Structure 1
């Protein structure tokens, strides 16, 4: 039921986005109708000047026509400005509504392994806003009011109207042909560029290893191949699109010449006035301009449509069944019940039906060979992955379904791959919240890094993250530990917390673990060094995703100890 509610919310959000777009587009379309009428000001002014003023030689008529034309153009400018503000407001409203849900969905997709798609969708929001505030979105609205120009042309002379209908039909056909020839290729080219950029961005995170082991030439060859493929697709699509647009523009100019020639013929025959010839030529130009613009900006519409579809697909696939109501703090046990986990894209489970209970005030050490499922279990304990079957419960509450804000107050997590966010050390320890500095210092003291931070250039205000002050691996891990213990969480999960620590850092880690255990925290630690495991009250031995042993540390260690050799022989006891 909870999942259904989430899905309903996502569907409602998408419908609201569409409704915002349609409402804004409808209002802008209505404005475009008045703008289209006002764009007749110049051709009608020229028609009246040629047919009335020149023949009557009346300055009063000229002055009156000029005043009316000036008023019409002023109103045209005002409505044009209001229409631009309409698109700007529509884009702002749409992005504000979608921003946070899209960010949450992208984060969930990234956790689930869809980082390439997620990172692109975040750019899609900005691209969608840019499109809605560009001139490309206006062309269809002006095109839908082209019948007004047809009415004027037929009123001037039926032949003008017939020529306009034929010309518009030809341009529409060329636009459809352009779409047919370029749409799929443009999509493939854009997708290839997106994947290539994401692949390069992901690889550059390992720049030190690339530089140290001379991997750049080989990687450059791979990148070049991918880029050439994407560029070839893009160039072919652009060539086809530009060819069709050039054809459309040339034909449009020919049609204007045809209109002028037709008008001249009608004037010679005495069936139309010179003023109507000039006015019809200008009206014909205004009639065909939206079709020319549509052909030129069709790629923008395809790109915007693709961006919206990616956003919609991400939101629709965001099936997180997490609660939206915060859960109050609790102090109950951690229970793992029939836990099974099959990673996305795989058929075999990594965690195979395990179950155990850890009481508050207990340090649980998780050991086992590589690929036994230890890090996966850690991710499941903090709700970073959704169990395939079974569940993990803290004081009876499902850790995956738990509302993230309140769960974050209850939980600390130090992943195997340590990273600090772009910000100051104080902000990182406080988990990017506005926090009491005393709580930050308390967490730093608990993790044993207060003195180390004090020796940094700006202390707690030292900026860290990409392109900021460079910390060693051990310093990052100790600051990340302070972040994990911030607020004295009730569940602390540490995955290889001493991987980059020296003896001093390891001692501080063990002191923090014992202090939190004495405070009633459940501490789960994954480590290989015996010194860390000596802090554990219980041990869990994982093997091939199953529990091999679980119990008190002393009894488990006794069974894991290597056999001793008998004195004077080479046989194992």
Structure 2
């Protein structure tokens, strides 16, 4: 499949729109599965009202063979539906993982926030939600009114009880969302901070060990992580209580509807088959709502991951194709350049201008903090300028194709670290 087109505004939403026809087919499969879920109730109705009264074994065998065939068909449809959403999720991740990697790299380059790994984890979380059972709960939920309507056809009072139970569960679902949304959002923020802090500390393990700072730094990390755990536990406890209440309520209502059905059978308002079928349908009415409450935490996590990814891709959209330029000769110029560390508006360099021809050498002297490192990073395009332009052979440095320009530039940062791979691969810049 072709890579999703990243449209302006909401790239992930635009990519999902590219799969509209596929998602509609999933909706059709869901509709057929939910309609076929009426089969157990119809089977029960026929067995109680026809087979038991007529003592006809042939009718029982035929009904049983038909219902088994329907269940096999339902299983096949559910498997196909799962295969479809798994492939949609994989195509979404394959279409976006390179772009998310690029955007996260660019954000880390400009801000130095070190959260590139979080963005890739967010993309995986969105894919797992799309391919997991939580999505099917949202597909199945709109079908509970169909089962509710069938119960009303059996008896109005059964329908009223089912409707009241559905409204109670919906109210619990809304309450669950309102009580857990804020702590989950705050917990997610503290989790990112604690993960970033731990990663930055572990990268300097030798210095921490040499200067005996482990206990103090570990305590600082644990303070953030404890706030994350506290908020996470608060949301989980609330969700667990509401989930337990909804499950108990659903089981209670299924028993009560059976008791009400028995009363209506005694009064001659319905048949025993309708009583059993109504109890089964009651479970089908309430089950999707109960499932939504159970998977709400997954939905909240996937929604926050989607929002972070959407913000990342909006802020760092895929750049246009760079202009093809000849190999540089080495003529360099700074034109009134002001620059500073990413994320800070205070300029370390202020209105620097100079020109260098190919082959010339420039030495820069200055005290610590005077801007030597900033000059070097702006010179090779690692940091953007706050004002002014850096030109190479007369062209703005940021208009060059980095993949084409990179082999012509040698850069030795202050902190030297080999990338994962052999020494030969590092020397060759991981090319052939």
Judge which range, 148-157 or 326-335, deviates more: 326-335
**What is the aligned partner in structure 1 of residue 121 from structure 2?**
123
Shift of 1:344: 3.9
**What is the aligned partner in structure 2 of residue 82 from structure 1?**
80
**Counterparts in 2 of 1:309-328, with a 5 A limit?**
309-318=307-316, 323-328=321-326
Q: Contact 1:35 / 1:76 at 8 angstroms: preserved in 2?
A: yes
User: Relative to total residues, which structure has the larger helix share, 1 or 2?
Assistant: 2
**What is the aligned partner in structure 2 of residue 53 from structure 1?**
51
Q: With a CA cutoff of 8 Å and minimum separation of 6, indicate the structure with the bigger relative contact order.
A: 2
**What is the aligned partner in structure 2 of residue 216 from structure 1?**
214
Alpha-carbon distance change, 322 to 354 in structure 1, aligned in 2, over 3 angstroms: farther
Aligned mates of 1:195, 1:112 — CA distance in 2 = 18
Alpha-carbon distance change, 163 to 12 in structure 1, aligned in 2, over 3 angstroms: closer
Aligned mates of 1:309, 1:22 — CA distance in 2 = 20
**What is the aligned partner in structure 1 of residue 223 from structure 2?**
225
The C-alpha deviation readout for 1:109-163, integer Å capped at 9, x for no partner, is 1111243443311211111111112111111110111122122212222222222
Aligned mates of 1:21, 1:343 — CA distance in 2 = 41
The C-alpha deviation readout for 1:498-526, integer Å capped at 9, x for no partner, is xxxxxxxxxxxxxxxxxxxxxxxxxxxxx
The C-alpha deviation readout for 1:313-334, integer Å capped at 9, x for no partner, is 0111116766534433131401
Alpha-carbon distance change, 320 to 285 in structure 1, aligned in 2, over 3 angstroms: closer
Shift of 1:8: 7.9
Structure 1 runs not aligned, ≥5 long:
1-6, 436-573
Q: Contact 2:322 / 2:399 at 8 angstroms: preserved in 1?
A: no
Alpha-carbon distance change, 183 to 15 in structure 1, aligned in 2, over 3 angstroms: closer
Aligned mates of 1:319, 1:393 — CA distance in 2 = 24
Paired residue secondary structure (2:77): helix
Paired residue secondary structure (1:366): coil
Aligned mates of 1:50, 1:233 — CA distance in 2 = 52
Q: Choose from 361, 364, 367 the match for 1:363.
A: 361
The C-alpha deviation readout for 1:473-520, integer Å capped at 9, x for no partner, is xxxxxxxxxxxxxxxxxxxxxxxxxxxxxxxxxxxxxxxxxxxxxxxx
Alpha-carbon distance change, 8 to 130 in structure 1, aligned in 2, over 3 angstroms: closer
Structure 2 runs not aligned, ≥5 long:
none
Shift of 1:429: 1.4
**What is the aligned partner in structure 2 of residue 404 from structure 1?**
402
Aligned mates of 2:161, 2:377 — CA distance in 1 = 69
Does residue 94 of structure 1 match 2:69?
no
Paired residue secondary structure (1:37): helix
Judge which range, 82-91 or 114-123, deviates more: 114-123
Aligned mates of 1:399, 1:184 — CA distance in 2 = 44
Judge which range, 174-183 or 160-169, deviates more: 160-169
Alpha-carbon distance change, 37 to 375 in structure 1, aligned in 2, over 3 angstroms: same
Q: Contact 2:338 / 2:347 at 8 angstroms: preserved in 1?
A: yes
Q: Contact 2:112 / 2:342 at 8 angstroms: preserved in 1?
A: no
Q: Contact 1:143 / 1:291 at 8 angstroms: preserved in 2?
A: yes
Paired residue secondary structure (2:354): strand
Q: Contact 2:418 / 2:426 at 8 angstroms: preserved in 1?
A: yes
Q: Contact 2:338 / 2:385 at 8 angstroms: preserved in 1?
A: yes
Shift of 1:96: 1.4
**What is the aligned partner in structure 1 of residue 381 from structure 2?**
383
Paired residue secondary structure (1:367): coil
Shift of 1:235: 1.1
**What is the aligned partner in structure 2 of residue 374 from structure 1?**
372
**What is the aligned partner in structure 2 of residue 259 from structure 1?**
257
Q: Contact 1:102 / 1:315 at 8 angstroms: preserved in 2?
A: yes
Aligned mates of 1:329, 1:336 — CA distance in 2 = 20
**What is the aligned partner in structure 2 of residue 236 from structure 1?**
234
**What is the aligned partner in structure 2 of residue 196 from structure 1?**
194
Of structures 1 and 2, the larger Rg is shown by 1
The C-alpha deviation readout for 1:218-274, integer Å capped at 9, x for no partner, is 112222222222111111111111111111111111111111111111111111111
Shift of 1:59: 1.6
For these two proteins, the number of residue pairs brought into alignment is 428
Aligned mates of 1:215, 1:77 — CA distance in 2 = 58
Alpha-carbon distance change, 24 to 279 in structure 1, aligned in 2, over 3 angstroms: same
Paired residue secondary structure (1:338): strand
TM-score normalized with structure 1 length: 0.72
Shift of 1:20: 4.1
Does residue 335 of structure 1 match 2:333?
yes
Aligned mates of 2:113, 2:181 — CA distance in 1 = 26
Q: Contact 2:11 / 2:314 at 8 angstroms: preserved in 1?
A: no
Q: Contact 1:338 / 1:354 at 8 angstroms: preserved in 2?
A: yes
**What is the aligned partner in structure 2 of residue 14 from structure 1?**
12
Shift of 1:394: 1.0
Q: Contact 2:6 / 2:14 at 8 angstroms: preserved in 1?
A: no
Q: Choose from 140, 162, 180 the match for 2:178.
A: 180
User: Relative to total residues, which structure has the larger strand share, 1 or 2?
Assistant: 1
